[in-house]
A and B are shown apart, each in its own frame.
Chain A
Amino acid sequence: MRPVIEVSAVRKTYGSIVAVDEVSFEVNDGEIFGLIGPNGAGKTTTMECIEGLRTPDRGTISVLGLDPFNDVYKLQQRIGVQLQQAQLQKRIKVWEAVDLWASLYQKKAIDGERLLEHLGLVDKRNAWFMTLSGGQKQRLFIALALINDPDVVFLDELTTGLDPQARRAIWELVRGIRERGKTVFLTTHLMEEAERLCDRVAIIEHGRIIDIDKPANLVNRHCPERTVVLATDDLSAAERFRTIPRVEAVTCSDSQFTIRGRGDDLVTEVIHCLSENRIRVTDFRTILPNLEDVFLKLTGHSIRD
């Protein structure tokens, strides 16, 4: 099956600033694909080139077999878009926005009332946009992105500025979009969001894609380190831990041991060692690397810097 989105060697500059360069990737049908990177890395520029809102200087883009530049109106009929930091008219009512958007598409729009219900906005249908909370605004933007029953949904920094609870609620909604068979393309600078939500991610920095894969594969590939922290009164334990295969370092402070090593088997080996030597432990936890660590490893700095 042909990928839903194909991006090939795209470059976009603003004056002398190169926003994105040599960006290539594919997004498959029915997946949630995340473009992750710090602010200013080129996420939004890339997304807006794909949506047809910007024209790349070089490279080719195909979405649903359409050229976003030449077929922009055809394309806009089939995609749903949520823009970063977008606003609506301050005094537009929620139902008016949904009603307006529904009137813009050739395809019969899906039932706006049911959509509002699904997104938990029914109570707010007569509220002015300016009176909505951040989470409610984002849910309205999701409603507008879904009103034409699109094949691909674009979500740009969807949960930025939301509290953790609202963020989790939005994640559920995005998973729901995928369950209805849609393809979702999103950008985020939140590694936790990418890890929990995305089937595949592309890491972008300074306008270039560094790596693309499933989050778990990226972690395994770039950060094979595993750490086990445990507490035991058995002072002879340290020696035994050092004999475990692939263990690289064992440190101890008070009765707490930190065992560092590589590979998925490390945790099993540690447990095995504990049981074989009948070492009594009062605490046991593992520290596994995540996308945040992958990013740090690949770029040499934290995504928040």
Chain B
Amino acid sequence: MMLRGLWKLTWIEIKIFLREPLGAIGTIVIPVVVFLVAGRMVSHGVAPTSLAASNFVSVGLPVLAAVLIAVGAVLSLVTIISIYREGGILKRLRATPLRPHTILTAHVIVKLLLTAATLLLMVLAGKRYYPVGIHIPLLGFTVALLISTCSILSIGFLIASIVPTARFAQPIGAVIMYPMIAVSGLFVPVQSLPPALQAVAKVVPLTYTVSLLEGIWRGDTWWAHKSDVAALAVGFVVCTALSAKVFRWE
């Protein structure tokens, strides 16, 4: 019964998302284009001289792109939830037999599908720049990205709970999410950060996201990253429990 409602709502939300002119372009096309341009610049222009630079191209860039997709999905979730709340759409849906968690689950599914679709598109488009001899565990990487997205989407619900109006949703979300990328170990290894920032990095789920994605991309086993997955799961449970407490429907 409720599954039928969940499926219908999810499908309608997908269609609505694709009808939004900026939504689809902003969240699917832009990450792919950025990835392609960056890949092109690196492969044609500045040749990687140091080991670190070469490492960034082969591992960091795809992981950065993946993280950007996930963060994009979270920001889009925050925006949509706050618009729906401001417009009374959430309240209207809640005045039906739909369970509150069903309404939110539909949005999570839409964002996960979107994340997977963007990743797929990026892999297809990026094949030209990463052809030689790199074996990419695509399935594992996709699963890792979906787990990570799930975990940071739960932060998205927390952010959506605190943003006062829909107008502030995107900027507040960005102000919270982008610094997380900075300390996540993607650009600078967590060990090289000042102690204060290291402490921050330890509680930021993006740190574990980056560690997991980089590992899986390199070909590590899942077992080697069980602590990353566990950390993401804990983050998911904590944020979900917190947002269940503080989430505002109107």
Contacts and interface: CB of A to CB of B under 8 A. Distances in A.
Contacts of A76: 95-97
B5 A103 contact: yes
B205 to A, nearest CB: 29
Nearest to A75: B97
Interface of B: 1, 4-5, 8-9, 12-13, 15-16, 19-20, 84, 87-89, 91-92, 94-99
Interface residues of A, number: 24
Nearest to A128: B19
Interface of A: 51, 53, 73, 76-77, 81, 83, 85-92, 96, 99-101, 103-106, 128
A180 to B, nearest CB: 21
6 contacts: A53-B91, A83-B92, A86-B89, A86-B92, A88-B89, A100-B12
A104 B5 CA distance: 5
Given A76-B96, A77-B97, 4 more contacts: A53-B95, A86-B92, A87-B92, A100-B5
Contact of A100 (B8, B19, B88, B95): B8
A99 B12 CA distance: 10
Residue in B16, B19, B20 whose Cβ sees the most chain A Cβ within 10 Å: B16
Contacts of A89: 12-13, 16, 84, 89
Contacts of B96: 76, 81, 101, 104
Contacts of B5: 100, 103-104
Nearest to B94: A53
Given A76-B96, A100-B9, A105-B97, A85 B4 contact: no
B88 A86 contact: yes
Contacts of A103: 4-5, 8
Residue in B1, B9, B20, B89 whose Cβ sees the most chain A Cβ within 10 Å: B89
Contacts of A99: 8
Residue in A88, A89, A101 whose Cβ sees the most chain B Cβ within 10 Å: A89
Contacts, number: 58
B206 to A, nearest CB: 30
B87 A87 contact: yes
Contacts of A88: 89, 92
Contacts of B87: 86-87
Contacts of A86: 87-89, 91-92
A91 B98 CA distance: 20
Contacts of B97: 73, 76-77, 104-106
Nearest to B96: A104
B92 A106 contact: no
Given A81-B95, A83-B95, A101-B96, A92 B88 contact: no
Given A87-B87, A96-B12, A100-B8, A51 B20 contact: no
Given A77-B97, A83-B92, A106 B20 contact: no
Nearest to B9: A100
Contacts of B13: 89
A51 B98 contact: no
A77 B97 CA distance: 6
A51 B95 contact: yes
A193 B92 CA distance: 24
Contacts of B20: 91
A106 B91 CA distance: 21
Contacts of A85: 88
A87 B83 CA distance: 10
B6 to A, nearest CB: 10
Contacts of A73: 97, 99
Given A85-B88, A100-B9, A91 B19 contact: yes
A50 to B, nearest CB: 12
Contacts of B1: 106
Contacts of B91: 53, 83, 86
Residue in A51, A76, A103 whose Cβ sees the most chain B Cβ within 10 Å: A103
A88 B93 CA distance: 9
Residue in B15, B84, B95 whose Cβ sees the most chain A Cβ within 10 Å: B95
